[in-house]
Structure 1
Amino acid sequence: MEYGTAAPERLGSTRLPAGRRLGWAEWGPLDGVPVLLCPGAATSRSLGFGSHLVAGLNVRLISVDRPGLGASDPDPGRDLLDFATDMADLCRLRELTGVRGVGFSQGAPFLLACAAAGVLTAAAVVAGTDELAHPVHAAALPADVTAMIEAVRADPAAAERFFAGFGEPGEFWQRILTMAGERDRGVYTDPAFAGAYQHAMAEALAPGPEGYARDTVLASARWPFDPAGITIPVDLWYGAADTSPVHSPDFGAALSARLPQAHRHVLPDAGGALLWTHAGEILRTLLSR
């Protein structure tokens, strides 16, 4: 199967007004519709999706390393809305207009922060991490996820130090395989996919685990914005065979009710890797909004 994880066509970095640099990767035509990708946990700009489709769809896919990961400078103490400010600055400096966005897994809260800040014109959340700390999910979370959420609530700094102990790429890869269901494990262990994913993890964590640790604290805490204020169309994509305990316990049902223009899709034949197995459907829908 073609997963669309070819190496980036263009790599670069942009210096923000604050002086930090953000690393980015691109696929597709320079005059294509800009689509910002917020990658999953501990993966870098180099892991794209749908690389075999972007030219035909006239998509300019732009993946950005979050601060402290890969080629992006750290920004200690940042929050989700700080990331949205970074993306607004990046779009302005690179003269990107009419930007759509895709957020995969842990990238989803960062994508929705961008949507709340008015950076995007349409968004797609794919196997997205929900607002797990919201009371609506309290009874549905596994005990270990509940403990993680409570640890972040009680002492965010201590939780961040704890998460930094899980930033070794090989161990991280094994945790992904352990959490994956049978359908997803078939994708992740396919040599055509595994090499690209493992390279992106090693690249993201090369500066150290601090960027990943900060991301995980932010994804495990209450969001500093109200999804009800997001007025752009947001497609929520979940696979019914997704077994990850840190995505959405109800496959986005509660989240879609909080988003004024939500379109929820739960695909019976997909797992959590649907960003790569259903890239065409996701991109075509996003372009239609």
Structure 2
Amino acid sequence: MIQDSIQLPDGRALDYNIFGPSDGRPVLYFHGTPSSRLEPLLPSVYGIDMIALLQKHHLQLLSIDRPGMGFSTLHPEGTFLSFADDAAELLRHKNIRQCPVLCWSGGGPYALAIAHKYPELIPAVFMIAGFTIPLSTPGLFEEMKRNKYYFASASNTPLILEGILNYLAKKEITRSFPQWIAGTPEVDYEYLKDPKHLMQVASITLQEACRYGSTGAVKEAAGYFNDYGFSLTGITQPVFYWWGSEDVEIINQHPHAIEQQIPHHAIYYKEGEGHVSIYIRYIEDVLEKIADSLS
């Protein structure tokens, strides 16, 4: 694992980690929210050797801290499309002419944005339970479960949410919340009920995202209500999407939007999987399909 950064044309820093063999085929990786460039380490919390998987499939992930999270500089006016510019600048810096993009959860709109804006750079999009349409889409927000309060707080009471996240990011986790409070399905709760595992997950995601404060994370969360700035129908590359039937974080309107609006797609519906479980259990399947697409 190598950590590095580049200076963007406007002077901001864009930080990223490289996972996988030095001669591996490059893949952009966009993390969830709030999270960080360290997210590809998540499977290792549960005994899955991600580096070995990347070696096996000869892939190299370029995992980026989005603006205001981890070590990347906040972009006060940032959008999904402006982050596409940031990521494209990284590819130019690395002399990468073309590579697919992989994302999980909140990384979805960013992956779709770079595919839309830079089709010559991105031959395919691979999404694990990602957002595909704005939270302002009629009927979508009402169907969301407890995570909708997080996004609503980011939009309506951002300073309060910033304070809560700053507190949680510094707090040591010594016990887990009961399942009924956590609001997760049993299949996901199995991955989050052990305080040791939960602390490791938090260190990779929330704590690293809020390394220098939570303003970036909260700004991003509010941004999911905004228009993406592009149409899904304009994405001509193939989009591969994994979704679990027990996912209460990303509801089925998101994969359905891919089916209905993107001409070239493959949706992998996984019965009984949740938001976390599908990432842990199917990451090798995803990497294998990425490798196949590059063959």
Q: Same fold (TM over 0.5)?
A: yes
CA distance in 2, matches of 1:161, 1:195: 25
Aligned mate of 1:164, from 162, 165, 190: 162
SS in 2 for 1:264: strand
CA drift of 1:42 comes to: 1.6
CA distance in 1, matches of 2:117, 2:178: 31
CA distance in 1, matches of 2:150, 2:162: 17
Question: Deviations along 1:61-92, whole A, 9 cap, x unmatched?
Answer: 11100011011011112111000000111100
The 10-residue stretch of structure 1 (131-140 or 170-179) with the greater mean CA deviation from structure 2: 170-179
CA distance in 2, matches of 1:228, 1:32: 32
The 10-residue stretch of structure 1 (235-244 or 268-277) with the greater mean CA deviation from structure 2: 268-277
The answer to whether the 8 Å contact 1:230/1:259 transfers is yes
TM-score of the aligned structures, taking structure 1 as reference length: 0.84
CA drift of 1:243 comes to: 2.1
CA distance in 2, matches of 1:70, 1:89: 18
1:288 corresponds in structure 2 to 292
User: Do structure 1's residue 186 and structure 2's residue 190 form an aligned pair?
Assistant: yes
The answer to whether the 8 Å contact 1:38/1:111 transfers is yes
2:129 corresponds in structure 1 to 127
2:259 corresponds in structure 1 to 256
The aligned runs of 1:18-97 (5 Å cut-off) are 18-48=10-40, 50-97=50-97
TM-score of the aligned structures, taking structure 2 as reference length: 0.82
Over the aligned positions, Cα root-mean-square deviation in angstroms equals: 2.8
CA distance in 2, matches of 1:182, 1:217: 28
User: Do structure 1's residue 196 and structure 2's residue 196 form an aligned pair?
Assistant: no
What's the % identity of the aligned pairs? 24
Aligned length: 274
CA distance in 1, matches of 2:7, 2:69: 15
CA drift of 1:139 comes to: 6.2
CA drift of 1:138 comes to: 6.3
The answer to whether the 8 Å contact 2:245/2:271 transfers is yes
Letter of the 1:129 counterpart: F
The answer to whether the 8 Å contact 2:70/2:212 transfers is yes
The answer to whether the 8 Å contact 2:132/2:257 transfers is no
Letter of the 2:14 counterpart: L
CA distance in 2, matches of 1:169, 1:275: 27
The answer to whether the 8 Å contact 1:21/1:72 transfers is yes
Q: Unpaired segments of 5 or more residues in structure 1?
A: 1-8
